[in-house]
Structure 1
Amino acid sequence: MEATTIHGTVAVLCPPGGPKLGSEQDALALRGAGDEQDAGLIVVPVGRMAPEFFVPENGMLDAFVHRLTRAGRRVAFVGDLADRMAGSTALAAYVRRCNAGGAVLFVRTREELEARLA
């Protein structure tokens, strides 16, 4: 995985192509990549996540995020979730809560992520 620095934060960038992610094991693998780079932020494209990942009621999203943040990592999901949030008040509320805190971010673009980290 590629590492970069965004406004003083070392970030590991999960590539957009590859198998779908969503399990706790996937989160541990990303955390390991972050450990290798001493990264404070893991950046994950929304398109890499399994379709059922963004259904808060099934617990996948919470478990995945917990595995990353418990180790002191921040996580940013980059991509458009507008359609999914329009169809799920639970997801929309989850995204709002996360974006208010800062340990977990949901942004539409890399530029928006950079602005949030500035």
Structure 2
Amino acid sequence: MPDSLQDFSGTPVLVYAPDGPPLRNENDALDVIGESGYRGATWVAVPVERFTDEFFRLRTRVAGDIVQKFANYGMGLAVIGDISRHLDASSALRDFVRESNRGARLWFLPDADALRSRLARS
């Protein structure tokens, strides 16, 4: 399945395929942000398979660096998929996910339908 621009309740979302290159760092995030902006998206849905394990280990600062780039450019980021194994391993990550999901620009969701529903309520 290729990456595709989709309309989620009036919000243009670039939905990334699970089998592409991983987002490892800020430069990878900038590439995603640039492509998304070029294609007219205001949100990006990235499957968990596209993130390295370092993203889910907060002490590495990878998540913070990537998330900060999305915030700087005003682009929403949805991490899509099952992250339960990462949550089980880290109370700090559980807190980060809980706080992120209370916000408006970074969400950890189980699937694209949950993103579609959340954007419809926004």
- Please report the TM-score for the alignment, with normalisation by the length of structure 2: 0.92
Does 2:55 align with 1:53?
Answer: yes
Aligned residue for 1:98?
100
Unmatched runs of 5 consecutive residues or more in structure 2: none
Question: What is the CA distance between 1:55 and its match in structure 2?
Answer: 0.6
Give the secondary structure class of the aligned counterpart of 2:73: coil
Residue 38 of structure 1 and its aligned partner are, at CA, apart by: 1.9
Q: Distance in 2 between matches of 1:20 and 1:74?
A: 18
- Alpha-carbon distance between aligned partners in 1 of 2:71 and 2:39, rounded to the nearest angstrom: 16
* Count of residue correspondences: 118
2:11 alignment partner in structure 1: 9
Structure 1 counterpart of 2:92, one-letter code: A
Question: In structure 1, what residue type is equivalent to 2:48?
Answer: V
Normalised to the residue count of structure 1, the TM-score between the two structures is 0.95
Aligned to 1:34, which of 33, 36, 40? 36
Percentage of matched positions with identical amino acids: 31
Question: Is 1:109 matched with 2:111?
Answer: yes
Q: Which amino acid aligns with 1:44?
A: V
Contact 1:3–1:12, Cα closer than 8 Å, also in 2: yes
What is the RMSD computed on CA atoms of the aligned residues? Answer: 1.0
Gaps of 5+ in 1: none
**Residue of structure 2 in register with 1:18 after alignment:** 20
Deviation per CA, 1:88-108: give whole Å up to 9, x if none.
Answer: 001000000100002100001
